Amino acid sequence: MNAVLVASDLDRTLIYSAKAFFLEVPDHLAPDMVVVELYQGVPISFMTRTAEQLLLELTRTAIFVPVTTRTEAQYRRVRLPGAVPEYAVTTNGGVLLKNGEPDIEWQTSVGQRVSEGSAPLAVIEEFLSREAYRSWILRLRRAEELFLYSIVDRELMPAEFVRELDAWCASLGWTVSVQGRKLYCVPHAVTKNSAVAEVARRTGASRVIAAGDSLLDGPMLDEADVAFRPSHGELADVDFRREHLRVTDARGILAGEEISRRIHALVQGGASQVKPRSVLPAAFERA
């Protein structure tokens, strides 16, 4: 099968909350937007109308796979253009949806790898529940019994706490990521890139294009043939760069539109135009 698989993170890559718009123009010059998520009846996530149209076209010409750290329930609130994707990845790769339904075989495989390679979730949970951290760890939640995420006060959370937590978690087979007001602790085996690789294997896709903004997206971008990241987010903060990686000029919701436009341009050229990283031509620099 000579097809292109497009694997994209959602929040702050394709879709944006109002706090992440980063618009630097007067309101009357802002782009037209559409609502893509409601929470308790309130619109909370958006994309530009142009990005919506581009993504709709993309779903017709490529294997589009939404990839998110959201839980399955949180993902189901999102309404992307087009039909329900054949495959979607939620819970940072812990859950693989096939035609909207969880793939039990995949979840069993992930669970086994987690139990073999990482300390139990309860160990990390007990650590984060300490009284000393309660001034900045405001809420602590389990995600599908696979990983933990916390709502944090970024101003009160010491930078050294994150560094120490990262080192401690790494020694136990866990990864730490801070995205906005959320702090994630995720077992090494729960990865977006492993789930995307599984979808590529099942669909026979010949090339993979990926997009994302967080440290949890890094390995997925590393393994893609062509990758994109916005000029904001965790990866921007650490100046994440690769030869096959393209960085947007825009920030915020306009970066989401730029990513959609540049991926669309690549896919329109066909799978043969999405070159493997080792032979990626200079022409793709501004695709």
What is the DSSP code string of 163-218? HHHHHHHHHTTEEEEEETTEEEEEETT--HHHHHHHHHHHHT-SEEEEE--SGGGH
Q: Using DSSP, how many helices (H) and how many strands (E) does the chain show?
A: 9, 14
- The length of the chain in residues reads 287
Pick from 91, 93, 95: which is nearest to 74 by CA? 91
**C-alpha of 141 from chain center:** 19
pTM: predicted TM-score of the whole model, two decimal places: 0.90
Could you tell me which residues are beta bridge partners of residue 247?
Answer: 229
> CA-CA distance, 266 to 61, in Å (whole number)?
11
> CA-CA distance, 243 to 280, in Å (whole number)?
9
pLDDT, position 273: 61
> CA-CA distance, 87 to 66, in Å (whole number)?
8
> CA-CA distance, 39 to 251, in Å (whole number)?
25
pLDDT, position 285: 39
Evaluate whether 66 touches 10 at the Cβ level (below 8 Å).
yes
> CA-based angle 193:194:195, to the nearest 5?
90
Element (H, E) at 235: helix 234-237
What is the amino acid identity at position 165?
L
Residue with tokens 């043939």: 225
pLDDT, position 180: 84
pLDDT, position 136: 97
CB atoms within 10 A of CB 41: 5
Q: Per-residue confidence of the chain (287 residues) as pLDDT tens digits?
A: 568 999 999 999 999 999 999 999 999 999 999 999 999 999 999 999 999 999 999 999 999 999 999 999 999 999 999 999 999 999 999 999 999 999 999 999 999 999 999 999 999 999 999 999 999 999 999 999 999 999 999 999 999 999 999 999 999 999 999 988 999 999 999 999 999 999 999 999 989 999 999 999 999 999 999 999 999 999 999 999 999 999 999 999 999 999 999 999 999 876 556 766 544 333 333 34
pLDDT, position 271: 57
> CA-CA distance, 143 to 149, in Å (whole number)?
7
Determine phi and psi for 209, rounding to 5 degrees: -110, 135
pLDDT, position 282: 37
Task: List, for residues 180-230, the tens digit of each pLDDT value.
Answer: 899 999 999 999 999 999 999 999 998 999 999 999 999 999 999 999 999
The alpha-helical segments, DSSP class H, found in 98-158 are 104-117, 121-128
Q: What is the DSSP letter of 85?
A: P
